[in-house]
Amino acid sequence: MKDFKPKLGSQRTKQIEEDRKEAVKAIIANRGILKGKGKAKTEEEFKQLQEEANKQITAHYEKKFGISLR
C-alpha cells in the first residue's frame, strides 16, 4: 500500500504538468488570432475609448453610491 500512494501522486503531478503544457500551447496558438485586433488603431481612438470608459464607470459609481464624482 505504501508503494501505491507515491505512484498515484506522481501520476497526478505528471498529468497536471501535461495539462499545463497543453494549455500554454493553446494560449500561444490563439495569441496570433487576437494579435492586432484591438479596438483602437490610433492614439486618438484610444483616448476616445478611454474617455468613454471613464464616463461609463463614473456614471456607474454615481448611480451605485449616490455621489457625484464630477
Distance CA 9, CA 67 (A): 54
Determine the pLDDT at residue 33.
Answer: 59
pLDDT tens string 25-66? 887 777 765 565 567 778 888 888 889 889 998 898 888 888
CB 58 within 8 A of CB 69: yes
Q: Where are the domains of the chain?
A: 1-37, 38-70
What's residue 12's pLDDT? 81
pLDDT at residue number 7: 65
pTM of the entire structure? 0.42
pLDDT (0 to 100) of residue 4: 56
Q: How far apart are the first and last CA of the chain?
A: 68
Conformation bin of residue 30: beta by default, left when phi > 0, alpha when psi is -120 to 50 = alpha
Specify the pLDDT at position 49: 85
